[in-house]
Chain A
């Protein structure tokens, strides 16, 4: 525990049996993306005039944004509160957020009918539309995340730019560029970090505002004017569980010792956050008297109970237990439940709760939609694995850290 740790590129082999499965899933998803681009949304999805939004918006976009919340919650903890002890989680959380938002953007591009007009909101504004706000915030925040990631790039390559052959005369200018970038970013980074947190609170909540305009088309169990607050609170409460989940998975996959000292401390922060979310969720239900809908077993009532019990109450109880927070397995299960809870909540809010007045055929995602979603998740994991092997993101014990002179800009990691 006392061994000093520092972020370093990981040296484990890229290809494993699991990685091969992910590559196959990614290829399968990309095939359906190609079919969608060539023949239209209707050929790949079960979407219709009755159900215009489905799995891609509910999971890839809405849940994707929520599950990338680890980025801004850990930035707030590490940078704003200056809690140095949590610094080991900031970089992995930043990477997850950056990749998460990248794939949210890709999912949006695939889902919208005219994908080549995706830039239109930048110049065609409608300030009354919550979707406009979400779109703008997500675009700006994605850019901010890339800027926040830049220091990791400069750290990795400064003093190590060794291009070969005809590119070798670029080495000098590149090195200067990296140094200028590094200095400028070092001085201004706090501006971007705060901007990232503000942008996150704005669009995490506005994702909830999206469905309010659907009015009576949304089941009363979920349709409430405080939907934006619930979305923000649930995003905040899923941020740290996501960081824990991912850190434990990465430790296992790369054969590292789990950072239990940090993760356990992080685990103790989750129960209060979940508690606040649960209080608002239940309070809203009591005030609007929507509990009457729970009396009859319907898809909606079952899904609502699942979401609240499995996704909030059980993990809340688990995070209150000291022995759970201290054991990697307990932390992993409790964190996974919170993640499942938020995933269920977004699926419920965007798909299950959506009950159009003229519905002749219920919606269930098609093989194509599921394939694309799984494909994007696989691509995200593959990119994550590649980036933690290329850049100093995950902290390892110093003596294990690879000597820095071993690398060149071409990224060979022999």
Chain B
């Protein structure tokens, strides 16, 4: 969670560099993600909908199994659930619109964006993108304002509305604890059909390309997450248009681009606010002098 010296130097240099070159270029957020960041390739054509990833996730994060535990009480497959404070990931079933018997299972969790809107939005900087890929939340800073939820284009962060004293923002943390110790995320580890592959993001893109080339009948020629909102750590392959599975249709521009340009424009070295201050000060002085002169004339 701590900012390392390297992180600090990197951000400082980058900020200085971007500020001097192209400060207000629209659509360019201030942080550049690491080239070695990790990701997960999720192959929806392989997923059988067993939902053991949901259970493994709950175990890894100490969450209650609850009524939607995989073994008992299977939820209505047509009910499309969303991640919640009790389940950081959910698997939903989608019937093909052309062929009703063909089912696709879609795993939903935080996409771990390369340019996270939540990180840019957070008022206290409680959300950060780690160099290794995960977008994580820091409970010591969070004030519970829920702006990250407003900002997230994938509608992922969840809030503990029924907790009075210390409600958390809850979302997939990419098993940051496990991966730091050399492990793989719990959902990837448990998947019995290897629908999930954990690896360096750049390598996963290669793998996905090869899969599409080798099995053109099996895959739609599209890798969701490669460019969406500037790119995400989680990448999806599917047999159909991603709109069928309710993936949001996002452009290639990072979500924070516009707001950060506006903020940098307004606060470019505090020049605009200070100029306004001196302008108003000057105006105040001139009108005061004029007033005094008028009063003298009157006398």
Contact = CB atoms under 8 A, between A and B. Distances in A.
Interface of A: 37-43, 45, 47-50, 52-53, 76, 79-82, 84, 108, 111-115, 117-118, 120-121, 124-133, 135, 190, 193-195, 197-198, 201-202, 205-206, 209-217, 225, 228, 354, 356-358
A131 B263 contact: no
A332 B254 CA distance: 46
A214 B150 CA distance: 6
Nearest to A118: B143
B61 to A, nearest CB: 17
Contact of B145 (A42, A48, A112, A211): A112
A130 B262 contact: yes
A53 B150 contact: yes
- By Cβ-Cβ distance, the 5 closest A-B pairs, closest first, are A113-B144, A42-B161, A52-B146, A126-B125, A52-B149
Contacts, number: 187
Contacts of A133: 263, 266-267
Interface in B63-102: 80, 82, 84
Dominant SS among interface residues on chain A:
helix
B162 A42 contact: yes
B155 A357 contact: yes
B152 to A, nearest CB: 9
Contact of A213 (B121, B142, B157, B273): B121
Given A49-B84, A49-B158, A80-B280, A129 B120 contact: yes
7 contacts: A37-B164, A40-B167, A114-B144, A128-B259, A133-B267, A198-B277, A357-B248
A337 to B, nearest CB: 29
Interface in B189-236: none
A130 B263 contact: yes
Given A212-B258, A358-B80, A129 B122 contact: yes
B292 to A, nearest CB: 10
Contact of A195 (B162, B266, B277, B288): B277
Contacts of B4: none
Contacts of A129: 120-123, 125, 147, 263
Nearest to B29: A128
Contact of A201 (B248, B267, B276, B288): B276
B275 to A, nearest CB: 10
Contacts of A126: 120, 122-125
Contacts of B277: 194-195, 198
Given A112-B145, A115-B144, 17 more contacts: A40-B161, A45-B161, A53-B146, A82-B284, A82-B287, A113-B144, A113-B159, A113-B160, A114-B166, A133-B263, A198-B273, A209-B262, A213-B117, A213-B259, A214-B150, A216-B248, A354-B150
